[in-house]
Amino acid sequence: MKLHIHDTLKREKIEFVPRNPSRVTLYVCGPTVYSYAHIGNARPVVVFDVLFRLLRRLYGEASVVYARNITDVDDKINKAAIEQGVDIDVITNKFADIYNQDMATLGALRPTLEPRVTHNMDAIVRQIGDLVGGGHAYAAEGHVLFDVESFKDYGRLSNRSLDDMIAGARVEVAPYKKNPQDFVLWKPSKPGEPVWESPWGPGRPGWHIECSAMIEANLGLPIDIHGGGHDLIFPHHENEIAQGVCAQHRHDDADYSRYWMHNGFLTFEGDKMSKSLGNVKLVHDLIKEVPGEVIRLALLSAHYRGPLDWTGDLISQTRSRLDGLYGTLRKVKDVAIHDVVVPAAVMEALCDDLNTPRALAELSALAKAVEVAESDTARSMAKSNLLAAAGVLGLLQQDADAWFTAGADEDLSARVESLIAERIAARAAKNWPEADRIRKEIDALGVDVMDSPTGATWKLKGGV
């Protein structure tokens, strides 16, 4: 099956052809680790996790190399370190660990590589050196700047002309810049900030150079797919292309990344998520209230390129949707499964520019097939298909019983199980008032009981 993706640079949906099908490379810009990630930051993580899973399915697990960087040099990190009187490592290690744990709760696989800026300083200095050597960058007053006039395609990704950008530049231009659009590759550190040696004086790298240098050093150029949120198109990705292409003394955009994918933005109840509006939802907090899988499915409920509005309704509808799917799986929990290929309808949806809403609709159809299967063989086949399809989406990976009882402590579980047994005994003895009384007692524990021909199961009310 052929994968088609919408390429931001070509502005159309095109067939994906990797440079080398036995080493498919994907890079996504990762977090700046000075604080907790918000739910908007989790959107690219979950979207590109599905792409990673799909590529592994298409080309083989060992053939896909996915890198997501960790930005551990940044003004906000320096500020937090100074405020707390600690080394930057204390901040960055803490938040990198929290980030990885939180994203794992959303079912995201660890990328193959997680390069950090502080571990790649040699590669960064080397790439800046290549740019200076090739006449694409110049040193001035302790800074090194990229000369945008030296790259003819500057502005192609974001579809802006250099002349318009210059005309629109309102910010005060630093006197050492030849052109207002020239951007920083290296700059002096302020007193008290971490500092690294370079041929242009001690200092630290600019933000954009870290990605192009880490890509060159860790994946090799050009890569197949570069991703991130659409806010990164300009200036970050525009600058990455300029650096990555020119450092190799090449001229063509495709010499950096062959395809570009950008996810749309997540809003919160119609508004931009921002600290000033006080509506920033942190993944770390949300996962204490909502199962990670609900968050994951909600993030996949809209097509990745479009906007996604995060609301209470979205969460409750997604919860019910997962209750339905796990409810189906619980009915067939004793049915054996076998290895099957992922059903074509789901693969087709995902291969059509990662159409997750369509893939999720197909998942519901596969669940329906489990419900209506008339023989053990058909049920086993249908269950296998459902689980295989859900696997590419990173869904339905937990035990169905555990899904429904998650959040209940051991004491509550034991109490509910014993009440259910008592109720079964009361009903067997046709003692209806006693059976009713027990049902009310269970109800008062905040638990719903679902009767079925094979016995009774339960879940926490309003939750899972």
Residues binding Zn ion (CB under 5 A): 29, 211
Residue closer to Zn ion by CB (options 238, 362) is 238
Q: Which stretch binds ligand AMP (CB under 6 A): 36-44, 289-297, 317-325, 375-383?
A: 36-44
Q: How many residues bind ligand AMP (CB under 6 A)?
A: 15
The CA distance from 91 to 96, in Å, is: 8
Angstrom CA distances, 340 to 59, 391, 408, stand at 17, 12, 34
Of residues 213-242, those binding ligand AMP (CB under 6 A): 228-229, 231-232
If one counts every other C-beta atom within 10 angstroms of the C-beta of residue 26, the result is 25
**Of 6, 43, 57, 330, which one interacts with ligand AMP (CB under 6 A)?**
43
The CA distance from 22 to 55, in Å, is: 11
Angstrom CA distances, 57 to 63, 106, 260, 293, stand at 10, 20, 20, 21
Residue closer to ligand AMP by CB (options 115, 343) is 115
Q: Does residue 80 touch ligand AMP according to CB under 6 A?
A: no
CB 216 within 8 A of CB 123: yes
Residue closer to ligand AMP by CB (options 31, 327) is 31
Residue closer to ligand AMP by CB (options 120, 263) is 263
Of residues 262-281, those binding ligand AMP (CB under 6 A): 263, 265-266, 273
Q: Does residue 206 touch ligand AMP according to CB under 6 A?
A: no
CB 255 within 8 A of CB 226: no
CA nearest 28: which of 14, 11, 42, 13?
42
* Residue 281 phi, psi (nearest 5): -100, 115
Q: Does residue 96 touch ligand AMP according to CB under 6 A?
A: no
Angstrom CA distances, 39 to 22, 284, 296, stand at 34, 9, 10
Q: Does residue 111 touch ligand AMP according to CB under 6 A?
A: no
Q: Does residue 40 touch ligand AMP according to CB under 6 A?
A: yes
If one counts every other C-beta atom within 10 angstroms of the C-beta of residue 59, the result is 17
Residue closer to ligand AMP by CB (options 32, 457) is 32
3-class DSSP state for residue 352?
Answer: strand
Q: Does residue 106 touch ligand AMP according to CB under 6 A?
A: no
Residue closer to ligand AMP by CB (options 117, 347) is 117
**Of 41, 127, 218, 385, which one interacts with ligand AMP (CB under 6 A)?**
41
Residues that bind ligand AMP (CB under 6 A): 29, 31-32, 40-41, 43-44, 228-229, 231-232, 263, 265-266, 273
